Structures are given as C-alpha cells and as structure tokens.
Structure 1
C-alpha cells in the first residue's frame, strides 16, 4: 500500500536535442575580424609582435628578463597568428570535431599570467624600449584574460568555435490527480 499523501505514480521525461550547422568548405571570410574574438586575436598578435620588437631593439636585450619576454611574446604571436588564419579561412569550422574552444581556453588561461609576469619583469628594466615592451605586454595580458573568460563561457555553454549549435531541452512531468482528503 502506498503512503498516504504520496502520489502512486510520477513520470518525468526530459528530451534534449542538439543540431550542429557547419560549412566544411575552406573559404576566406574577413568578417571574423569584426567579431569580438577576432578583434582580440588581432590585438594579441599585434601586441605580441610590437612587444617583441621593442624588447629586441633594446640595448639590454641580452638580459634574461628580456629573453623571457621575447620568448613569451613569440610563442603567443605564432600560436595566435596561426589560429587567426584558421578562423579567417574557416579551417576551425571544417574540423569542428576538434575541441578548439577548450584548447584556446587552456592556452589563454596559461598565457595571460605568463604575459603579466613578462610585462612586470620588462618594466623593471630601466630602458624606454622595455617600457614600450611592458605596455604591449600589459595590453596582451588584458586581451588574453578577456579571451580566456569568453572561451570559458563558450566551453561551459557547449558552444562551437565556429559554426552554430542549437541545444534545446524539453521537460515534461506527469503526475496522477490528487484525491481529496
């Protein structure tokens, strides 16, 4: 016998549907640079290159602080530059099964504090070229930190790096009518 006041039957059905829309042809699309992720990548590439050149042109470029800054900026320049090219030519969309957002999130989460440290070390060198490098390092730090947050939000939402994914969730619940007391 069922407990008094407790329904004898309760059914809950949850239906989750997902639809992914991608175009797998490689094509050039400059409109990506007008989106926030595209603008951030352009800032990251530009700040990395200008920071590298500033540190390299210094008469103190042989110092380990300067070498560290140049190492961080060149890795960031090449990684982000290649990714920017992938996005511009929709290579990311062609290979949408690769977890691009997670890879980018890991890189940006790692590179934001590494760039912050490099910029702080560069500013400790008493040289105008290193001051310029530190400025570009702080700009890159801010761009990587904001990009890391956006990538984290995208990963959490289950989004794609390029293309669209629509996830809809429908929950229905059926309970028997309650008897009067």
Structure 2
C-alpha cells in the first residue's frame, strides 16, 4: 500500500483596504494617541510663543528664532490635526502621510532642541519658561516621529481601515484508480 503525503490545508487570504473618500468631521481622532500628541504639541507651541512674547526681550534674535520654530510646529500640527479630523488624509490616501509626518516631526524636534537650549542660556525668566515648554514639545515631536517610524515599518495606514479575510480551501482526497 502506498502512503500518500498529507499536506495540511493552507490558509489563503486577501487583504483589502477600505477608504471612505468623502470628507466628514470625526472628533474621535482626538482620543487616539497621535491625536492627543498633536493637541499637546499645539498647546506647548502656544505656551512657548506666549512666554517669549510676554518677555521684555521678545525682540532678541534667540526669542525670534524660538518663535519661528514654535510657529512652524503650530502650523504643521494644527493643519495636520484638521486634516485628520475631517478625514482629508483618508481621502488623499495616495500621499505618504506617515513619511511626511516622520520627517517633519524629526526636523521640528531637532529645531526645538536648538531653540530651547539657546533661550535657556539667555537667563530671562520668560525665556526659561519658554525653554521648558520647548523641551517638552521636543520630546513629544520626537515620540511622534518614533510612532510614525514604527507605523511605517508595520505597514499601517495613516487613516482608513484594512479588512483581512481568510479563506481555507477544501481538500479532497485523491481519486481511486
């Protein structure tokens, strides 16, 4: 009697990505980790800017540089938060949103390192407070860049859902001669 090798059934599946292309307001993004980080860095950008502007030395080049960095972060994060809240990121899913966020968050984190260090070295109370908020923003921008790098490695989507279906084929025994 001849033994036939038994192969275990192989699971075959497919992965479909579902994108809803209409823009709609969805505040649930704010309750996610990236949404919380974006709101936090917006607040820190504003606090640092207010500290420099309320200082007697707001005109100093160190303060001006800090304000430029704070504005870059504020505008980038604010616009991106609106794009996520209104699902524009999902609508234009062909753009590499995660890579853009990774690069810009890394750059802003580095710029905040420089800006916070030079305003702390100045010694003014307002500058010291701005430097503190700048270092906090630097850490959050760096953490956001780290999260984006991990999401890119995992093949995650910036926004949208991935539906995976598994199919198991039916194996029939070989026909007898």
TM-score range, shorter chain: 0.7 to 0.9
Superposition TM-score, scaled by structure 2 size: 0.82
Matched, 1:30 2:20: no
Q: Within 2, Cα distance between the matches of 1:40 and 1:16? A: 35
1:112 counterpart (91, 98, 109): 109
Q: Within 2, Cα distance between the matches of 1:150 and 1:167? A: 23
Q: How far has the Cα of 1:112 moved from its partner?
A: 0.9
* Residue matched to 1:96: 93
Q: Within 1, Cα distance between the matches of 2:136 and 2:15? A: 38
What do the CA deviations read for 1:112-147 (whole angstroms, capped 9, x no partner)? Answer: 111111111111122111111111101111110110
Residue 60 and residue 161 in structure 1: after superposition, are their counterparts in 2 closer, same or farther (change >3 A)? Answer: same
* Residue matched to 1:142: 139
- Residue 124 of structure 1 aligns to a residue whose secondary structure is helix
What do the CA deviations read for 1:41-78 (whole angstroms, capped 9, x no partner)? Answer: 00111111111111111111121111110000001100
Residue 26 and residue 58 in structure 1: after superposition, are their counterparts in 2 closer, same or farther (change >3 A)? Answer: same
CA RMSD in angstroms, aligned pairs only: 2.1
What do the CA deviations read for 1:75-129 (whole angstroms, capped 9, x no partner)? Answer: 1100110000001111111111111001000101111111111111111122111
Residue 77 and residue 19 in structure 1: after superposition, are their counterparts in 2 closer, same or farther (change >3 A)? Answer: same
Structure with the bigger percentage of strand: 1
Give the number of aligned pairs.
158
- Residue 122 of structure 2 aligns to a residue whose secondary structure is coil
Superposition TM-score, scaled by structure 1 size: 0.81
Q: Within 2, Cα distance between the matches of 1:54 and 1:165? A: 44
Matched, 1:78 2:75: yes
- Residue 26 of structure 1 aligns to a residue whose secondary structure is coil
Structure 2 gaps of 5+ residues are 1-11, 167-177
2:45 counterpart (44, 48, 53): 48
Structure 1 gaps of 5+ residues are 1-14, 170-181
Q: Within 2, Cα distance between the matches of 1:63 and 1:93? A: 42
Q: Within 1, Cα distance between the matches of 2:98 and 2:49? A: 26
Residue 104 and residue 16 in structure 1: after superposition, are their counterparts in 2 closer, same or farther (change >3 A)? Answer: farther
